[in-house]
Chains A and B, each alone.
Chain A
Amino acid sequence: MEYTPLTEWILKHGISQQTLELFVIITILATIISISRYIFGSKTYGIYAPIILAISYSYTGFRYGLAITFVVIATTLLSYSILKRIRMHYITRIAINYCLLSIALVIALLVINKYGLGLENMANIPSLAVISIAALSDFFIKQFVQKSFRSSIAILFNTMVIASIGWYVITRDIITAYTINNLWIIPLLIILNIVIGQFKGLRVKDLFRFSSILQDKENVAK
């Protein structure tokens, strides 16, 4: 692969191609999240969770990533609905949840190993990526406790949609190859974020939320 002089200089000075790709990818993912938040109104578990999830999916593969996410969320829902009936401190409840999550993931891997379920070779995926996906459990419970089940599910859905878009973008070789050779994209993304940061218009979600006012011309008081 041929590099531009700047990229080549960076790679020759102690930064690996994979690290550089990852840094550039983070800027793209962060911008996707800011667009989805301020233009579309799609709330996620902060900026960190969808970035980690998208990167994890790129390591596990999308299908495997989704399967792990499903196991994590299903186990979290089940364990939390049981644990909340027992009087105990919050952190201990979360700690037990993580214990149950580890057991559930091991069982899931064993079941997949035995029956396949279209997820062969799952045991070979990096464990750090699996643990990163498991961290979703913490975000999910926090939202569940502080807001509601409904809002936690909605935010989980948004986070996964954004992470999936992120996964799609960062797994296109043409995009990663182009971006590490065109590092001017990073200042461009900064400018784009400044523009989004100044955006005062209605978010797409606001259009749905206020549709009854926007559609009914008779009802809006001037």
Chain B
Amino acid sequence: MLQSNRIKEVLGLNRRNQEYVRPYNPPSAKRIADNKILTKKLLSAEGISTPSVYKLIKNKKQLQFLDWESLPKSFVIKPNQGTGGNGIIVFYGKKKGENSWIRPNGTTMSQKDITLHIENILEGRFSMGDRSDIAIIEERVRTDPLLKQYSYKGVPDIRIICFNGVPIMAMTRIPTKRSNGTANLHSGAICTGLDISTGITTNSMQMNTKSIFSDTYEGIEYTTDLKVNKKLSGIQIPDWDEILTIALKCQKASKLGYIGVDIALDAEKGPVVFELNARPGLGIQVANQAGLRSRLERIKGLEINSIKHGIRVAKNLFGGEVEESIETVSGRKVVSITEKILLYNKKANLQKTVKASDKEIATAFMDTGIQSSRISVSLANRLGFIDTIKYFNSLNIPKKFDTLKDAQTYIDDNETLIKNEYIKRVAKIIEDGIIKIRPVIEVKTKISGDTQDIEMIITEDLEYLVVIGRNNLKGYLIDTSKTF
């Protein structure tokens, strides 16, 4: 069954074009993104690395006088205004003693074949609108060893969609045998979602070859064509924050409000920008198993002051796919060291339906250094325990004890005197170096989607209104990286 609320989260082609591409990508910016030479000029002026250009061939005369000997053994030929990877040919090396070059699939192309291919590029066979074009002969990116081990020849790349100065969603495209070493999803490359906060791979999908009338994908867990196939999830993309920074720099430089930035990891140069895309495809949603629309709407209208701010916003709003994966593997939920939790009014324990006014949201501190959870007296009052606290204060219990043993003895001797249905027990604690006895109440609490009744010691007001102790942290993993 299709979920109607999910439909609102997914971005379709109609909305992409009307709400994002047209309003946010001015024609002048699109013209630059559609032109690889202009893009390279723009990005290099901003200090962003792109593959080096060896030769530009603008006409047949230049092709006729091309100095083939001056070309390095490996290079890439691409049309300046090509689309969807059409017309791009990669050469790995030159065949010994022959005037021919080796392609990723092992076949060779002679100088005459390459000349003909370049002529086709010049005639505009691979270009938008069939206009005459320029052929670019450029450096071949040497894939970073980490990603190389997952790829069948070719160069895997990372696509990041940015909107309004915030990286919204990312994926990596891994070439396969079926895609003939290209990172083109329609040809059969694997797309793997990336957790925007960590750069760790999550879900992987590959286009279904059986269905030719609709672009449907199927889930995939391992690479397909390697001698030893590897698990695709859990791969940490190196230099993740640098990659996000580059993507946002590209957006700023290009003036494209809604952009797809394609970045490859070169073994020597690090991240290099392959291409800017003014109309990025929507397959990234399948790779991430998440909708773009809901993310874009959350970002629309936000004022982003800097690249760092944009990255921080993305990490805070859209990170967490990896946490969900960890939960699936370990059966434990990941919570931040400070986590927003929901606490219910004491009446909520007795009622079937809970009104909005019977709930309080508070930032809780996850503290594995203490056994029992604690709640500040002011929050306990707000949750309806004011009479309980008044009653406890009226009991004339000593304000301090010399030793913990004294406090325990007092508790053992006087516990039966405490007659209040909401006080579950009393506990001895050390507050500001003073040993005290405090009441313990039970509060219905929701942490990371799970509701449980938690026994909390009422204390003086703390830095955090609630501190969750070890007793109530079983089943959770604490992520200490989220301390914003």
**Minimum C-beta distance from B357 to chain A (A):** 25
Q: Which residues of B in the span 262-290 have a Cβ within 8 Å of any Cβ on A?
A: 282, 285-286, 288-290
A154 engages B213 (CB within 8 Å): yes
- The answer on a CB contact under 8 Å between A146 and B186 is no
Q: A146-B86, A217-B6, A221-B289 are in contact. List 13 more A-B contacts (CB 8 A).
A: A87-B116, A90-B123, A146-B126, A148-B186, A150-B212, A200-B12, A202-B7, A202-B15, A209-B282, A214-B2, A220-B291, A221-B288, A221-B318
Q: Which residues of B contact A178 (CB under 8 A)?
A: none
Q: Judge whether A206 and B217 touch: CB under 8 Å.
A: no
Query: Is A212 in contact with chain B by the CB < 8 A criterion?
Result: yes
Contact A214 B6 (CB under 8 A): yes
Q: Which of B3, B116, B205 contacts A214 (CB 8 A)?
A: B3
Q: Using Cβ atoms and an 8 Å threshold, which residues of chain B touch A210?
A: 10, 12, 282, 285-286, 291
Is B333 in contact with chain A by the CB < 8 A criterion? Answer: no
A–B pairs, 15, beta carbons within 8 Å: A90-B123, A150-B186, A150-B212, A153-B212, A203-B12, A205-B215, A206-B13, A212-B219, A212-B289, A213-B9, A214-B3, A215-B1, A217-B3, A219-B203, A221-B290
Please state if A220 and B6 are interface contacts (CB–CB under 8 Å): yes
Which B residues touch A220, using CB under 8 A? 6, 9, 289-291
- On chain B, the residues within 8 Å of A183 by CB distance are none
Check if B7 sits within 8 Å of A214, measured CB to CB.
Answer: yes
Q: Contact flags (1/0) for A73-91 with B, using CB distance below 8 Å?
A: 0000000000000011111
Q: Mark B157-201, 1 if CB is under 8 A from A, else 0.
A: 000000000000000000000000000001100000000000000
Q: A87-B116, A148-B186 are in contact. Are A199 and B2 (CB under 8 A)?
A: no
Q: Are A151 and B186 in contact (CB under 8 A)?
A: yes
Contact with B along A109-131 (1 / 0, CB 8 A): 00000000000000000000000
User: Given A157-B213, A212-B219, A212-B286: A206 and B10 within 8 A (CB)?
Assistant: yes
Chain B residues with CB under 8 Å of A89's CB are 116, 119-120, 123
Q: Which residues of B contact A217 (CB under 8 A)?
A: 3, 6
Q: Which residues of A contact B15 (CB under 8 A)?
A: 200-202
Interface membership of A208, Cβ < 8 A: yes
Residues of A within 8 A of B (CB): 38, 41, 87-91, 145-148, 150-151, 153-154, 157-158, 198-203, 205-217, 219-222
Nearest B-chain residue to A205, judged by Cβ: B214
Contacts of B187 in A (CB 8 A): 148
Q: Report yes or no: A90 in contact with B120, Cβ–Cβ below 8 A.
A: yes
B213 touching A216 by the CB < 8 A rule?
no
Return B88 CB to nearest CB of chain A, in Å: 12
CB distance from B269 to the nearest CB of A (A): 31
> Shortest CB–CB separation between residue B46 and chain A, in angstroms?
31
- CB-based contact A209/B116 at 8 Å: no
Name B's A-contacting residues (CB within 8 A).
1-3, 6-7, 9-10, 12-15, 18-19, 83-84, 86, 112-113, 116, 119-120, 123, 125-126, 186-187, 203, 205, 212-217, 219, 282, 285-286, 288-291, 294, 318, 320-321, 324
- In the complex, the answer to whether A203 meets B86 with C-beta atoms within 8 Å is no
Which residues of the other chain, A, contact B212 by a CB distance below 8 angstroms?
Answer: 150, 153-154
B3 surroundings in chain A (CB, below 8 A): 214-215, 217
Inter-subunit contact A38/B14 (CB<8 Å) = yes
**Minimal Cβ-Cβ distance residue in B for A204:** B214
The CA of A139 and the CA of B212, in the complex, are separated in Å by 18
Cα of A220 to Cα of B285 in the assembled complex, Å:
10
B110's nearest neighbour on chain A, judged by CB, is A87
Known: A41-B13, A151-B186. Contact between A215 and B289, CB under 8 A? no
Q: In the complex, A41 Cα to B16 Cα: how many Å? A: 14
- Shortest distance in angstroms between B130's beta carbon and chain A's nearest beta carbon? 8
B19 contacts A200, CB within 8 Å? yes
With a cutoff of 8 Å between Cβ atoms, the chain B residues found around residue A146 in the complex are 83-84, 86, 125-126
Q: Which residues of B contact A41 (CB under 8 A)?
A: 13
Cα–Cα distance between A88 and B14 once the two chains are bound (Å): 40
| Contact among B10, B318, B321 for A213, CB-based, below 8 A | B10
Contact pick for A200, options B18, B112, B291, CB 8 Å:
B18
Which residue of A154, A208, A211, A213 is within 8 Å of B291 (Cβ)? A213
Among all A-B residue pairs, the 6 with the closest Cβ atoms: A202-B12, A219-B289, A206-B12, A221-B290, A200-B15, A208-B214
A208's closest neighbor in chain B, by CB?
B214
CA distance A52 to B84 in the complex (A): 28
| Chain B hits for A150, CB < 8 A | 186, 212
Question: Is B294's CB under 8 angstroms from A222's CB?
Answer: yes
- Do the beta carbons of A209 and B215 come within 8 Å of each other? yes
Question: Which residues from B are CB-within-8-Å of A91?
Answer: 123
* Distance A209 CA – B9 CA, assembled complex (angstroms): 14
A211 to B286, CA, bound (A): 9
Chain A residues with CB below 8 A from B6, complex form: 213-215, 217, 220
A154–B213 alpha-carbon span in the complex (Å): 5
Q: Which residues of B contact A145 (CB under 8 A)?
A: 125
| A221 near B7: Cβ-Cβ < 8 Å | no
Q: Which residues of A contact B19 (CB under 8 A)?
A: 200
Partner of A209 from B7, B214, B289, B321 at Cβ < 8 Å: B214
Q: Which residue of B lies closest to A216 (CB)?
A: B289
Complex: A213 Cα to B1 Cα, angstroms: 11
Shortest beta-carbon distance from A49 to chain B in Å:
16
Q: How far is the CA of A212 from the CA of B220 in the complex (A)?
A: 13
Q: B123 — which chain A residues lie within 8 A by C-beta?
A: 89-91
